[in-house]
């Protein structure tokens, strides 16, 4: 079968690529590091995007759209930011092509050179804070709670479908506040929204924490993150929320008149999640048969496959299915009836397992006589024969059960993969043998963090929020430490 995918055990990395390509989520392109998000993958992203968008709006945010291109000089205005983002980015230098006078097709018109080069946004803090200078004069203009859905580009050297692509889709929130406290609260609020989304919709449990200085966003005072655990024991950063202090306000001279009519610099946050989440979703849940999608964001929650011989049977099944579909849709359930006659039921079963549809209903002529259907849930692959009476309520409950079971399974796995380690030897051994998060004491220095990364490829994923304070000795240097932090190899 051409749709066969490599098993996780044989090659986890290849399994992931096979799955993304063969389930129809995405495809490669001739443009280095850029992918096509195929219709099935995009439908999944749309459900994620729309859910997040609703959560942002419910917390008072509005959407806007800022330019794709950023003047090169803007990047230099915030000292740390330029170091982080000016490195690998796409640079527009010309604005016209022309016919090659020597007949070599089209060439760049050398006359059409820009005075100042433009950068395709790797993130939009600079152009947005340049704009905010015009929008913010008084405390009455604050808070400004703006989000943007956009494409961004970072010229990545090593790319992977969804997880790390040169161009990706994301949202970036950029808020402005009158006080430090308000901005910190906003940073934490958005982290909570990301965590809630990951857990309740993606069924992916996450750890909330803050990054160490070396993993901090370029230009931030503090970077908060949610960290997830994949099935191969590697961590994945699923979202970040940055407290930017007054750094960008100072860089772009954005001040407001406070209630006492004194001018103050504005406080800022930014926060984002991207199509990377699709990769996280795939890696967290799927198996060797294909995707396993959580019902709340699956493009289709239920697929119905008819099993019949001849037109007469088909007609009876159609009639029943139409009634079921109508009822399911009235419950808001996304259902597809696949009655294409160019594939056998067995082929369709495999196809929808590959695509990760949470619940499959098979309905045959004999089933109809007995007033039953066969339901198969994708996560456990359990089948059951169920009465058609009250079938919609049954399915609704089943979808909730699948959602919860997926979360529980992922959480159990994640919890089993947080291991306290107390020596360098143990750290190195368990990182290879077991993987996952290693909870270890660290002396707080960037030097030690770098040394561990250099030696083991593990990084500090985060210092968990509300972390237990506990005296101990750094697992690497033996120096004193006041708390454990989470190390892991990561995507």
Residues binding its own copies (CB under 8 A)? 27, 29-31, 34-39, 41-43, 46, 62-73, 75-76, 82, 86-97, 105-106, 108, 117-120, 127, 130-131, 134, 140, 146, 150-151, 153, 155, 167, 169, 342
Minimum distance between the CB of residue 90 and its own copies, rounded to whole angstroms?
A: 5
The nearer residue to its own copies, 52 or 406, going by C-beta atoms, is 52
The nearer residue to its own copies, 131 or 459, going by C-beta atoms, is 131
Please name the residues in contact with 477: beta carbons below 8 A apart, sequence gap of 6 or more.
443, 445, 448
Q: List residues bridging with 151 in a β-sheet.
A: 169
The nearer residue to its own copies, 150 or 460, going by C-beta atoms, is 150
The nearer residue to its own copies, 9 or 134, going by C-beta atoms, is 134
**Integer angstrom CA distances of residue 442 from 70, 144, 469, 489:** 39, 38, 12, 16
CB-CB contact of 147 with 62 (8 Å): yes
Minimum distance between the CB of residue 152 and its own copies, rounded to whole angstroms?
A: 10
Minimum distance between the CB of residue 480 and its own copies, rounded to whole angstroms?
A: 38
The nearer residue to its own copies, 67 or 478, going by C-beta atoms, is 67
Minimum distance between the CB of residue 439 and its own copies, rounded to whole angstroms?
A: 38
- Per-residue exposure over 148-181, b if at least 16 CB sit within 10 Å of its own CB, e if not: bebebbbbeeebbbbbbbbbbbbbbbbbbbbeee
Minimum distance between the CB of residue 6 and its own copies, rounded to whole angstroms?
A: 21
Closest CA to 69 of 134, 149, 151, 135: 151
Minimum distance between the CB of residue 16 and its own copies, rounded to whole angstroms?
A: 20
The nearer residue to its own copies, 175 or 439, going by C-beta atoms, is 175
To which H or E segment does residue 459 belong? Answer: strand 459-464
Cis peptide before 143 (omega within 30 of 0): yes
Closest CA to 294 of 209, 410, 176, 195: 410
Please name the residues in contact with 184: beta carbons below 8 A apart, sequence gap of 6 or more.
243
DSSP string, 337-360: E---TTS-HHHHHHHHHHTT-SEE
The nearer residue to its own copies, 162 or 476, going by C-beta atoms, is 162
Minimum distance between the CB of residue 28 and its own copies, rounded to whole angstroms?
A: 9
CB-CB contact of 227 with 486 (8 Å): yes
Four-residue CA torsion sign, 158, 128, 172, 49: negative
The nearer residue to its own copies, 14 or 63, going by C-beta atoms, is 63
The nearer residue to its own copies, 344 or 381, going by C-beta atoms, is 344
Nearest 5°: the CA angle 43, 47, 48 is 115
Collapsing DSSP states into helix, strand and coil, what is residue 39?
Answer: helix
Collapsing DSSP states into helix, strand and coil, what is residue 286?
Answer: coil
Minimum distance between the CB of residue 120 and its own copies, rounded to whole angstroms?
A: 7
Minimum distance between the CB of residue 193 and its own copies, rounded to whole angstroms?
A: 19
Residue that has been written with the tokens 């597809």 in this structure? 336
What CA–CA distance (Å, rounded) separates 90 from 106? 21
What CA–CA distance (Å, rounded) separates 142 from 145? 8
């Amino acid at each position: 079968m051409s749709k066969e995918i490599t098993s996780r055990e044989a090659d986890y990395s290849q399994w992931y690529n096979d799955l993304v390509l063969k389930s129809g989520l995405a495809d490669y392109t001739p443009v280095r590091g850029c992918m096509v998000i195929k219709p099935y993958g995009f439908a999944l992203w749309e459900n994620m995007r729309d859910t997040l968008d609703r959560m942002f709006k419910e917390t008072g945010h509005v959407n806007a759209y800022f330019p794709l291109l950023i003047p090169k000089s803007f990047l230099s205005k915030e000292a740390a930011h330029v170091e982080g983002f000016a490195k690998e980015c796409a640079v527009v230098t010309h604005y016209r092509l022309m016919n090659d006078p020597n007949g070599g097709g089209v060439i760049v018109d050398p006359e059409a050179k820009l005075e100042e080069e433009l950068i395709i946004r790797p993130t939009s803090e600079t152009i947005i804070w340049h704009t905010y200078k015009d929008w913010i004069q008084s405390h009455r203009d604050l808070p400004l709670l703006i989000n943007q859905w956009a494409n961004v580009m970072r010229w990545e050297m090593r790319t992977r479908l969804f997880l790390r692509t040169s161009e990706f889709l994301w949202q970036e929130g950029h808020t402005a506040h009158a006080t430090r406290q308000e901005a910190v609260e906003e940073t934490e609020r958005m982290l909570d929204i990301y965590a809630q989304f990951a857990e309740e919709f993606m069924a992916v449990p996450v750890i909330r924490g803050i990054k160490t200085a070396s993993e901090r966003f370029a230009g931030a005072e503090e970077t908060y993150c949610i960290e997830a655990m994949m099935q191969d024991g590697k961590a994945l950063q699923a979202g970040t929320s940055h407290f930017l202090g007054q750094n960008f306000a100072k860089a772009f001279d954005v001040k407001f008149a406070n209630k006492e009519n004194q001018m103050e610099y504005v406080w800022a946050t930014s926060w984002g999640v991207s199509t990377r989440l699709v990769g996280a979703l795939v890696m967290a849940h799927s198996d060797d048969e294909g995707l396993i999608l959580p019902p709340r964001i699956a493009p289709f929650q239920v697929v119905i496959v008819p099993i019949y011989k001849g037109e007469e049977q088909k007609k009876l099944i159609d009639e029943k299915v139409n009634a079921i579909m109508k009822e399911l849709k009235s419950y808001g359930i996304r259902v597809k009836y696949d009655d294409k006659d160019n594939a056998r039921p067995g082929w369709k079963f495999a196809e929808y397992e590959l695509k990760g549809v949470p619940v499959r209903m098979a309905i045959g002529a004999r089933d109809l006589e007995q007033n039953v259907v066969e339901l198969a849930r994708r996560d456990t692959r359990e089948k059951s024969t169920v009465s058609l009476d009250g079938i919609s309520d049954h399915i609704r409950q089943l979808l909730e059960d699948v959602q919860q079971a997926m979360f529980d399974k992922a959480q159990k796995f994640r919890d089993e993969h947080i291991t306290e380690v107390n020596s360098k030897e143990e750290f190195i051994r368990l990182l290879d043998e077991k993987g996952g998060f290693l909870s270890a004491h660290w002396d707080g220095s960037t030097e030690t963090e770098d040394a561990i990364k250099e030696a083991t490829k593990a990084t500090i994923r985060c210092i968990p929020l509300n972390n237990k304070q506990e005296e101990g000795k750094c697992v690497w240097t033996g120096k004193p430490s006041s708390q454990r932090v989470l190390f892991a190899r990561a995507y």
